[in-house]
Amino acid sequence: MTSSSTPASGPSGASQSHRPLRTLRARGRDEAHRVASPLELFFDLCFVVAIAQAGVQLVHAIAEGHAGEGILNYAMVFFAIWWAWMNFTWFASAYDNDDALYRVVTLVQIAGVLVLAAGVSRAFDDHDFLVVWLGYLIMRLAMSAQWLRAALSTEGAERTMALRYGIGVLLCMVGWLGLVVLPEGARPWVFLVMALLEMCVPPFAEKSHPTSWHPHHISERYGLFTIIVLGETIAAATVAVKSGIDEHDALGDLLPIAVGGLLIVFAAWWIYFVVPIHGHLRSNRQAFLWGYGHYLIFASAAAIGAGLEVAVEQAIGKAHISTLAASAAVTLPTALYLLTVWALHSRFYKVGIAQQLVLPTTALLVILCTFLGDWSVFAAGIVSGLAVATGTALTARMVARERGGSGASGERATTPVA
């Protein structure tokens, strides 16, 4: 861990800083210079391996004309990946002491997600979730061990909270067995019930004692993971375009998809990072909604990459679907991403109806681009880019008015640019 993020919670922090095993105590919520650690960055990169596997299988399912089944399997697998990532992220924000045992247990979680990634293709092709469940089991056992260790180091309401987390995680694992032992038709219902139960564990556990997560650290962790997912989207689309050009000499057909896809991803990055969201994360009520809502942000961002691959395969004749279906594979996740980012981020910082309507209107226009045939992706990229330009222009206009009104006092506007 970097020196700026070395735990030093409480008077014993300094004396523990060089010990291989330290007491797992809560970190301070107001620590200065709290940043993501190298272990957390490594954790994120390994999790993206599983996301990439889920994206590849989603591409195959949509390209073969099995979009409904593919999206359902993608939602189930992505939930397992995202939920394990999110649980660790919030735990680490409150309890990361960076000792040897903490690192080893975190590496076990990484091993679990790699096992899960190995089972993704079987889950999609054969509806066999055994390997996915085993990978999830490894991750969740490690997470439960972290919480139980925290319980041993605390007392009172904080200990009760940690025990609720640890035991709740273990009990949910029993329910997830339904994906392995129950008939195929029952599995979507098992997923729905167990996903709801999993999401009930944190608010129940923190009912009397909230964890001391760090707003700056959490917003940085989510932002970094968003960057990694968008990077995976660009990588997947780039490989697909390159293969299409090399194998089919289809540069003219693929250029609009490549340009439009790049504009979509650039706009997705800009829109997400235009506001400093940590200022909004002040209470658990806000944080739960914000944190849970990122399932849609991450899943849609990764699905954009899968959609671009589908569009490429359809353009070169490899996908057995219509142009309309291939276009929808890009425009629908793009619209979902725009709406979710607006709901979780942007709407809290926009002033006036014009600014508030930019992203919802853009999402609607992107959906309408679906019906533009071979130029759908390019048009969606142009619309997304214009949304960024429009938001920037509206903000610049508002800042100019503020400066004009406060020029005498010398005040400076601090409104985000977009």
Indicate the domain borders of the chain.
35-212, 216-409
pLDDT of residue 348: 65
pLDDT of residue 318: 86
pLDDT of residue 15: 40
Nearest alpha carbon to residue 235 among 293, 167, 182, 308: 308
pLDDT of residue 278: 67
DSSP of 62-124:
HHTT-HHHHHHHHHHHHHHHHHHHHHHHHHHHHH----HHHHHHHHHHHHHHHHHHHTHHHHH
Between CA 263 and CA 241 the distance in angstroms is: 15
Q: Quick check: 117 and 50 in contact, CB under 8 A?
A: yes
Between CA 270 and CA 274 the distance in angstroms is: 6
Between CA 226 and CA 217 the distance in angstroms is: 14
pLDDT, tens digit only, all 418 positions of the chain: 333 444 444 433 434 455 677 788 888 878 887 888 999 999 999 998 999 999 999 999 999 889 999 999 999 999 999 999 999 999 999 998 888 999 999 999 999 999 999 999 998 888 889 999 999 999 999 999 999 999 998 889 999 999 999 999 999 999 999 999 999 889 899 999 999 999 999 999 998 888 888 888 888 999 999 999 999 999 888 888 888 887 777 787 788 999 999 999 999 999 998 877 766 676 666 778 888 999 999 999 999 999 999 999 998 888 889 999 999 999 999 999 999 998 887 676 666 687 778 889 999 999 999 999 989 999 999 999 999 898 888 777 776 776 766 554 444 444 454 5
Architecture of domain 216-409: Up-down Bundle (1.20)
Between CA 16 and CA 4 the distance in angstroms is: 16
pTM of the entire predicted model: 0.87
pLDDT of residue 149: 93
